[in-house]
Amino acid sequence: MAFEPVIGLEVHAQLKTKTKIFCNCSTAFGKSPNANTCPVCTGMPGVLPVLNKQAVTFAIKAGLATNCTINRESRFDRKNYFYPDLPKGYQISQYAKPIAEHGFLDIEVDAKEKRIGITRIHMEEDAGKLIHDPLRGKSMVDLNRTGVPLIEIVSEPDLRTAAQAGAYLRKLHTILKYIDVCDGNMEEGSFRCDANISLRPIGQEKLGTRTELKNLNSFKNVEKAILYEIQRQTCVLEEGGQVIQETRLWDPAKNRTASMRGKEEAHDYRYFPDPDLVPLIVDDAWIQTVRAGMPELPDEKKQRFIQEYSLSEYDAGVLTAGLDMANFFEETIKPLKNIKQAANWTMTTLMGMLNAKGIEICDSPVSAHAFSKLLGLLESSRINANAAKTVFEEMVETGKDPEAIVKEKGLEQVSDQGELEAMVDEIIKENPEEAKAYRDGKTKLFSFFMGQVMKKTRGKADPKVVTPMLKSKL
Ligand code: ADP
Ligand code: MG
Ligand code: ZN
């Protein structure tokens, strides 16, 4: 029997507020344990939560950017469970009435567009962190993260492959960074994902039993874990077994998932409205203000790049996949004319360098301004492409100005007519047999002569000047 995978993702994104969601403690990462705490976020009896307005504005922004309806009234509920990193014994979340619902995202995989439904976006507070000390057999609690505002974005079970899940996740990540509500840092846990996976016989409507995968802390791991889980469930079903509904942990070292605990049901949490918080009312004016402040979204930017800069669909997609890269590119091409050339250099030479170094564009040793200057030298034929590559490498190494490197290394293109003409005459004179053969129709020899010119100028002759000159003289 053939099975079809069904995947739904739950993404937790940390909102970029300065302070926590229900108190005014700082959200800064990396502070000494429990430095960012107060009676409210450590769950002392009798304290009252006060909702952070900025967190709501960010949640609305995320809802609008993912085509959701913003609920004019939503409310906060208590999700009850016991764990040492949750001092109150409950997490404040939104259950029955989330801030936003019924949205979607369009993804593209293998040149095919697919619309992925977004069930809901709700706001909640993060829990703390346990730090285990195996040496002393002790665990310690750090509550700095307790009460940090999160949104949880829940997708419909519309995804069918690991690649689609990866594309959805990347798109969502890009959007949240574009609208500047989440820093997207996966290592620091600002953007985390759980994946729900089930299989069903092809053609069957009813969903199969799912497992939920946790500890997926990179895009690659999400895809690898899903692929593994699809395979594991296929084996279970093919052997006539049943998938058990459970939570499984991805082990990146062993490249497999392992059972962690039985999957809890919503009623296990005994959700109920938090009596300390009044319903959250969002009026039209608030939504309008957020809408008015919405920046250009990835899809819009891509379309503009195609239209304004005549880039291909593919190039525009690559250049707008990250906001920092898109900004770098637009900064680069400001003074340039040859946009296509700049796009090629950005996607091959610049991105190649970033990949090799394993760094992001914001840490590039070559600034947009310097990169633009380099491409300007290429555009005005002051240097040729070969020399530009050399200059770029030197810029990466030393951070020097491209103009200075060209001067220092004597890389300027020879395009002086007189100088080149004398050289061409000399080369033809030195190679009479080849010249005769060329004239007799062996036009392939043209590249031989071009090679001689390049040799004499150590690669610095301007082909645009030399080509017609050689042709006419030959
Ligand atoms: P929870 O995991 O908190 O119990 P939900 O029931 O809302 O919450 O489901 C969470 C995610 O699991 C959603 O993204 C949903 O699309 C997905 N999902 C639900 N049922 C299945 C299933 N049978 N197979 C795959 N994904 C599923
Ligand atoms: Mg879940
Ligand atoms: Zn606090």
Whether the per-residue pLDDT at 69 is higher than 90: the answer is yes
d(CA 40, ligand 3 centre) in Å: 5
Structure confidence by residue, pLDDT tens digits, 168-224: 999 999 999 999 999 999 888 899 999 999 999 999 999 999 999 998 989 999 999
Count the domains in the chain: 3
Whether the per-residue pLDDT at 264 is higher than 80: the answer is no
Q: Ligand 1 in contact with 156 (CB < 6 A)?
A: yes
Which structural domain range is residue 385 located in? Answer: 296-409
d(CA 23, ligand 3 centre) in Å: 5
280-281 and 73-74 strand pairing = antiparallel
326-330, Cβ contacts within 8 angstroms, sequence gap of 24 or more: 326/301, 327/368, 328/361, 328/364, 328/368, 328/371, 329/368
167 and 259 both lie in a single domain: yes
What ligand has the least distance to the C-alpha of 192?
2
| Domain termination site, one of 409, 443, 463 | 409
Whether the per-residue pLDDT at 329 is higher than 90: the answer is yes
Q: Ligand 1 in contact with 155 (CB < 6 A)?
A: yes
Q: Ligand 1 in contact with 154 (CB < 6 A)?
A: yes
Three-state secondary structure of 226-291:
HHHHHHHHHHHHHCCCCCCCEEEEEECCCCEEEEEEECCCHHHHCCEECCCCCCEECCHHHHHHHH
281 and 357 both lie in a single domain: no
What ligand has the least distance to the C-alpha of 20?
3
Point out the ligand 1 atom lying closest to the alpha carbon of residue 198: 24
CA 58 to CA 15: how far, in whole Å?
Answer: 7
d(CA 358, ligand 1 centre) in Å: 34
Pocket test for ligand 1, best of 102, 154, 214 (most atoms within 8 A of CB): 154
372 and 281 both lie in a single domain: no
Burial of 261 (0-12, 13-18, 19+ CB in 10 A): exposed
CATH of the domain at 444: 1.10.10.410
- Mean pLDDT, the chain, integer: 94
Pocket test for ligand 1, best of 10, 119, 244, 269 (most atoms within 8 A of CB): 10
Structure confidence by residue, pLDDT tens digits, 352-407: 999 999 999 999 999 999 999 999 999 988 888 888 999 999 999 999 999 999 98
337 and 230 both lie in a single domain: no
CA 450 to CA 434: how far, in whole Å?
Answer: 12
Burial of 389 (0-12, 13-18, 19+ CB in 10 A): middle
77 and 206 both lie in a single domain: yes
Q: Ligand 1 in contact with 333 (CB < 6 A)?
A: no
What ligand has the least distance to the C-alpha of 145?
3
Contact 473, 452 (CB under 8 A): no
Structure token digits, residue 57: 């504005």
| Domain termination site, one of 238, 273, 289 | 289
Tell me how many degrees the CA angle 214-318-167 measures, rounded to the nearest 5. 25
Banded model confidence at residue 90, pLDDT cuts 50, 70, 90: very high
d(CA 329, ligand 2 centre) in Å: 39
Pocket test for ligand 1, best of 6, 196, 248 (most atoms within 8 A of CB): 196
d(CA 248, ligand 2 centre) in Å: 11
10 and 77 both lie in a single domain: yes
Point out the ligand 1 atom lying closest to the alpha carbon of residue 196: 26
Calculate what percentage of the chain has a pLDDT beyond 70. Answer: 100
285 and 305 both lie in a single domain: no
Residue 5 backbone phi and psi in degrees, to 5: -75, 145
145 and 22 both lie in a single domain: yes
Under DSSP, the state recorded for 32 is S
396 and 441 both lie in a single domain: no
241 and 334 both lie in a single domain: no
| Domain termination site, one of 238, 268, 289 | 289
152 and 300 both lie in a single domain: no
d(CA 216, ligand 3 centre) in Å: 28
Under DSSP, the state recorded for 378 is H
Considering only CA atoms, which of 230, 229, 231, 235 is closest in space to residue 250? 229
Whether the per-residue pLDDT at 266 is higher than 80: the answer is no
Where does 317-456 show beta strands of DSSP type E? none
In this predicted structure, which of 283-292, 360-369, 405-414 has the lowest mean pLDDT? Answer: 405-414
Kindly state the average pLDDT of the residues 78-86: 95
Region for residue 201 given its phi and psi (left: phi exceeds 0; alpha: psi -120 to 50; beta: otherwise): beta
Whether the per-residue pLDDT at 263 is higher than 80: the answer is no
154 and 22 both lie in a single domain: yes
| pLDDT value, residue 305 | 97
Q: What is the torsional sign of CA 387, 388, 389, 391?
A: positive
